[in-house]
A = this chain, B = another copy of it.
Amino acid sequence: MSYSIAEAARRSGLSIDTLRYYERIKLLDPPARDTAGRRAYSDDDLNWLGFLTKLRTTGMPIKSMREYASLRRHGVASAGRRKALLVEQRRSVAERIAELQGCLDVLDYKIENYERVEQKVLGIEPGMEGISA
């Protein structure tokens, strides 16, 4: 199957402008063109875009995604380096998750504090016995 740029944008979740941008900066090999010169994205193109958006979500900078894309073009000889990039990225994602987990704990603590304040305002807090609202 092949897809117009609008369809590719819809399926990848990227904007049309971003698709052309990714092509310009060589994240994406130039897709085929139809007889009128319009881009015709293949399923392979879409799969690659799907993977790219995953990498992007992990916070990988475009520079590194470009490196990975460029290695891919160099075939099997680059597999080691590509794997190393992914392993490093996995490490950084795991780290980021842990960091976010820590932030979640801080948020929970703060939110609980606000809840305690609400309780206190309602006079329900233990130690304030005899005062019921």
Contacts and interface: CB of A to CB of B under 8 A. Distances in A.
A65 B103 CA distance: 15
A103 B58 contact: yes
Contacts of A87: 111
Contacts of A99: 57
Q: What is the oligomeric copy number?
A: 2
Contacts of A70: none
A72 B133 contact: yes
A38 B112 CA distance: 37
A114 B51 contact: no
Main secondary structure of the interface of A (DSSP, over half): helix
Nearest to A60: B103
Interface string A24-58: 00000000000000000000000000010011011
Nearest to A78: B133
12 contacts: A51-B106, A54-B102, A54-B107, A55-B103, A57-B100, A72-B133, A79-B114, A79-B118, A83-B111, A83-B115, A86-B107, A87-B111
